[in-house]
Amino acid sequence: MLERFRAYWARLMAPVARLLLRLGVSPDAVTLVGTLGVSAGALVFFPRGELALGVVVVTVFVFSDMVDGQMARLSGRTSSWGAFLDSTLDRIGDAAVFAGLVLWFAGGGDALWLAALALYCLVMGNLTSYARARAESLGMQAKGGVAERADRLVLILVATFFADALDFLPLLVAAMVLLAVASTVTVVQRMVGVRRQAMQA
């Protein structure tokens, strides 16, 4: 759903992309720094219960995901390697966000069932991406669904921030339950779509 706004945000980030290119920064470097920043924000602050602060740090670095692609297009340096690196490191950053929540709930948050729920969201989120990648490797399509990456990331970050800022944990619980259901439905939708394509081949 939120992918439709990607072009709008890309235009806003274009000046930053041009500045970094003039400074001699490569798109791959921005991708790597962005992933390290997201991972550090989630894995340093979330396990300590500093959820809102962690979200702020993560969000700052999430925008690098748009900057690196914009830099590659502006410089004419798009490549299969860059696309592979970006996609692979995206999975690491996404996993770090949920892993940070798992560590918090399993530790100071003292809620093992929520740790299990966050872990399920982590696994299913990665499975939705795997299903698409595997389908494309077989010459088929597995896009779409009710929980694409941008939707999942925005929902969990917004819910985590306000659950901490407002001291209202049920908000985060509801978001994780919604993500768990939506991710499961998305995986099933993609499996059904791939099976339909396979049967027609």
**Distance in angstroms (rounded) separating the CA atoms of residues 47 and 200:** 48
End-to-end CA distance of the chain: 29
**Distance in angstroms (rounded) separating the CA atoms of residues 193 and 201:** 13
Which 3-state string (H, E, C) describes 52-83?
A: HHHHHHHHHHHCHHHHHHHHHHHHCCCCHHHH
Catalytic residues: 90
By CB atoms closer than 10 A (0-12, 13-18, 19+), residue 119 is: middle
Residue-wise burial string across 160-190, b where 16 or more C-beta atoms lie within 10 A, e elsewhere: bbbbbeeeeeebbbebbebbbebbbebbebb
**Distance in angstroms (rounded) separating the CA atoms of residues 102 and 92:** 15
Rg (CA), the chain: 18
How long is the chain?
A: 201
